Structure 1
Amino acid sequence: MTMNRRMLLGAVPLVGLLPQRRSAAQSADGTIRLGALTDMSGTYRDVEGPTGTACVQQAVAEIMAETPGLKVEIVTADHQNRPDVASAIVREWFDRGGVDALVQVGNTAVALAANTVAREKDKVHLNTGALSSVLTGAQCSPNLVHGPLDTWSMGHATATAVTKAGGDTWFFVTADYAFGHALQEDASTFVRAAGGKVLGAVRHPFPGTTDFASFLLQAQSSRAKVIALAHSGGDLINCMKQTQEFGITRRGTKVAGLGTLITDVVAMGLPLAQGLLMTESFYWDLNDRTRAFYNRVKGRFERPTILPNSLHAGAYAATLHYLKTVRAMGVAEARVSGQRTVAAMKGTPTDDDAYGAGTIRADGQMIAPVHLFQVKTPAESRGAGDLLKLVETVAAEQAFRPLADGGCPMIRA
């Protein structure tokens, strides 16, 4: 197995390349090492991938500029959307690479695999790349920080609004893995709570489905008013293209992209995506602070047309808060125990330009307001980056699943 291990440069000062193998004794050199584990080549490359890593790099650059004595390195690897590959990389990083904290770590199956290793090795797991609410539910961990967006918050905002607006019968087209299952389950709860009905669902293989015809025909035959797409990235884009080819929306059926992020809207283009309701916790043009963050980080992106989504901005926010905590604790103390460091993160309010002021709950969920957006029509857009209009904002306290309802063992205890 070949891993992509390289320093991320730019504004981050060069502090030396990692050797291929590093003993625990050698790692005690005062340098904090972050392992950015992400999809560099698959379905979620644009959704999370290199853009998220660029946001991690931005957070490192900012904290090192503020604290010249703090040394931080970043190593990266492609998990290939395979939990076994992710586990092997994470063990290598923790056992011989001197890595102190994981960041990004999507998709959900990969996140769950990494979560197990991080807890076993008592390291920090900053999960900003997977969306399943199970990470702060049954699979919560004292080593984990998650968010600030999940399937519960996405389903809550989108499903509730669409159902109350008259879309009271639903059919789900769902990616057959943990993220899709959680998105469907969470959204179904809110459809029913708003007085709607779920008429059925069909699951498609993940990853790599390109032909959604049979799944969409099943959805159409149900006569549901809303076809809910419980997937994201390439799956979402391909499925949306085929809904247009079949003329589904022209017949009055609504399509709800439950896992839609702004990166998907950019890939689809406004003519295809216009009118979609979607939920994000971050939008680059939301306020002065989000615009300031975007203007600082955009020079690190692979292409000038990239717009960061909630996962990318979350990678920045989580990394920045972690490094602030390390600075306050001291590097040596922070490296003693990942659980202890995460506890300190929970005990300190968060504040950054991507999300503003916030907190981390006892279950590890980063809490911030969540926004329901509608994709603009081409006529409404003022330019290439002007894609979304704000429909409503759900306050941070109401945006996420109640703490007592998630089934997190730490909360029960």
Structure 2
Amino acid sequence: MTECTSRRGILKAAAALPAMGGLPWRSARAQAANTVKIALLCDFGGTYRDVTGPTELACIRQAAAEFSNRGFNVEVLYGDNQNKPDVGSNLARQWIDRDGVDVVVDGGASSVALAVNDVVREKNKVFLNTSSATSDLTGSKCSPNTVHWTYDTWMLAKSTGGATVKAGGDTWYFVTADYAFGHALERDTTTFVRNAGGKVLGSVRTPFPGTTDFSSFILQAQASKAKVIGLANAGSDTVNCIKQAAEFGLTKRGIKLASLLMFLPDVHAIGLQTAQGLICTETFYWDLNDRTRAFTKKMRPNISVPLCMNHAGGYAAVLHYLKAAADMGVAQARANGVETVNRMKAMPCDDDCFGPGQIRQDGRKLHPAYLFEVKKPEESRGEWDYYKLLQTTPSEEAFRPLGDGGCSFVKA
């Protein structure tokens, strides 16, 4: 196996990870017929580095290693999308046209994923989306070449947003990252708030990428007198918002922060003293059951940040793709992305991160969603022990109903 990159900066970003070979890139023409090329496209140096980046790469390498004796080879490439749609789509096109890549994994920021979604469909390859949140990927922008694995804005809105309203948070003000993901998360959460009888008092859009100082936006939200400030952002933006809100003493004044997309590495960065009591939704937690604990133990020597659902999604999605490729034959899998995704949909999913599941007709991977509360410092039993489970939404209820998304190829 080999991993490759076209960007010197990524070599530095992933330097701590163990290499899996060092062969140079080969052209698409020279690619062996029994070799599958998988490329991870995400953020290796910016806002989302800790929740995707090197740790997700390590998880994808693990999935590839588990297929090292199945009669075909797996090569893993990776690159930094810089959270820019043009950079991501150009890199995906280059990988496919020049380097013979068969599968693009992750995508990163929703605006990037939507652009990559079009490229992969045009080239009839496979897109395994593992961290982009917009529910449009299985709705108005659905593609027969795409599987949306880990979570989406509809699910997050229902789980975290819905629970917050039920707990009395019936007036909201949003601090929203100004791109496709933030807009979709605000939109979907607004629907659940209003359906539950709540009100949205306003919102403010924050530059993405482009700022680490959210103080003026937080004070604007505070001035609205809303009971809940909904953080429709992720990664270091969420971390900075929560830290700065704590500095202003918002939660001490009774204002609830709803972190609509928060990951375990974010809690690690914030610290339990500040993050305690926050609620969030993930579809994977390392200490959820025996299988998740076993997976984490296996990965622990190769990672430096806590595992979150994005990392687990990279492992599980690639593993299921490789199972499908082995089942249908590598040559056929490489030749037709739509047929390969159809085979993935036809096969039941099962892995140590998410357990049993399935991929729906619109490309939505179904599995349970878990609502967590961040523990108090005195409740934590040790390293990475940050969550306590509040409720579980079963897979058949966690995601938007198939008929409500507007996917063009979904049969009535």
Taking structure 2 as the reference length, the TM-score comes to 0.95
Matches within 5 A, 1:312-351: 312-351=311-350
Distance 1:160-1:10 versus aligned 2 partners, 3 A rule: closer
Partners of 1:28 and 1:64 in 2: CA distance: 15
Matched with 1:409 is: 408
- Read off the aligned partner of 1:310 and give its amino acid letter: M
- Read off the aligned partner of 2:395 and give its amino acid letter: A
Matched with 1:395 is: 394
Matched with 2:76 is: 74
Partners of 2:383 and 2:123 in 1: CA distance: 45
What SS does the aligned partner of 1:156 have?
A: helix
Task: Indicate the larger mover: 209-218 or 245-254.
Answer: 209-218
Distance 1:118-1:172 versus aligned 2 partners, 3 A rule: same
- Read off the aligned partner of 1:314 and give its amino acid letter: G
- Read off the aligned partner of 1:245 and give its amino acid letter: E
Matched with 1:63 is: 67
Partners of 1:357 and 1:298 in 2: CA distance: 23
Distance 1:384-1:41 versus aligned 2 partners, 3 A rule: same
1:174-232 alpha-carbon deviations (Å, 9 max, x no partner): 00001111111111111112221111111111012222122112211111111111101
Q: Per-residue deviation at 1:13?
A: 6.0
1:279-315 alpha-carbon deviations (Å, 9 max, x no partner): 00000000000001111112221x2xx1111111000
- Read off the aligned partner of 1:339 and give its amino acid letter: V
Distance 1:220-1:10 versus aligned 2 partners, 3 A rule: closer
Asked whether 1:95 is paired with 2:97, we answer yes
- Read off the aligned partner of 2:86 and give its amino acid letter: D
Distance 1:15-1:273 versus aligned 2 partners, 3 A rule: same
Partners of 1:292 and 1:126 in 2: CA distance: 24
What SS does the aligned partner of 2:127 have?
A: strand
Report if the CA contact (8 A) 2:171-2:201 is conserved: yes
Report if the CA contact (8 A) 2:37-2:76 is conserved: yes
Distance 1:136-1:8 versus aligned 2 partners, 3 A rule: farther
Matches within 5 A, 1:108-257: 108-257=110-259
Report if the CA contact (8 A) 1:131-1:147 is conserved: no
Matched with 2:24 is: 17
Distance 1:8-1:255 versus aligned 2 partners, 3 A rule: closer
Q: Per-residue deviation at 1:9?
A: 11
Asked whether 1:371 is paired with 2:370, we answer yes
Asked whether 1:40 is paired with 2:44, we answer yes
Q: Per-residue deviation at 1:26?
A: 2.0
Partners of 2:127 and 2:379 in 1: CA distance: 41
Partners of 1:267 and 1:323 in 2: CA distance: 34
1:323-355 alpha-carbon deviations (Å, 9 max, x no partner): 000001111111110011000000001000000
- Read off the aligned partner of 2:260 and give its amino acid letter: L
Partners of 2:334 and 2:75 in 1: CA distance: 14
Pairwise CA RMSD = 1.9
Partners of 1:82 and 1:26 in 2: CA distance: 31
Matched with 1:311 is: 310
Q: Per-residue deviation at 1:78?
A: 0.8
Partners of 1:107 and 1:274 in 2: CA distance: 27
Partners of 1:342 and 1:2 in 2: CA distance: 27
Q: Per-residue deviation at 1:8?
A: 10
Structure 1: segments with no counterpart, 5+ residues? none
Partners of 2:73 and 2:15 in 1: CA distance: 13
Report if the CA contact (8 A) 2:17-2:58 is conserved: no
Q: Per-residue deviation at 1:3?
A: 2.9
Asked whether 1:49 is paired with 2:56, we answer no
Matched with 1:383 is: 382
Report if the CA contact (8 A) 2:131-2:150 is conserved: no
1:66-107 alpha-carbon deviations (Å, 9 max, x no partner): x2x221000111111111111211111111101110112101
Task: Indicate the larger mover: 204-213 or 49-58.
Answer: 204-213
Matches within 5 A, 1:264-275: 264-275=266-277
What SS does the aligned partner of 1:312 have?
A: helix
Report if the CA contact (8 A) 2:131-2:151 is conserved: no
Percent sequence identity is 53
Partners of 1:175 and 1:263 in 2: CA distance: 19
What SS does the aligned partner of 2:108 have?
A: coil
Partners of 2:22 and 2:278 in 1: CA distance: 45
- Read off the aligned partner of 1:135 and give its amino acid letter: L
Report if the CA contact (8 A) 2:33-2:331 is conserved: no
- Read off the aligned partner of 1:47 and give its amino acid letter: V
Q: Per-residue deviation at 1:28?
A: 4.3
Q: Per-residue deviation at 1:385?
A: 1.3
What SS does the aligned partner of 1:37 have?
A: strand
What SS does the aligned partner of 1:410 have?
A: coil
Partners of 1:329 and 1:12 in 2: CA distance: 29
Matched with 1:85 is: 87
- Read off the aligned partner of 1:364 and give its amino acid letter: G
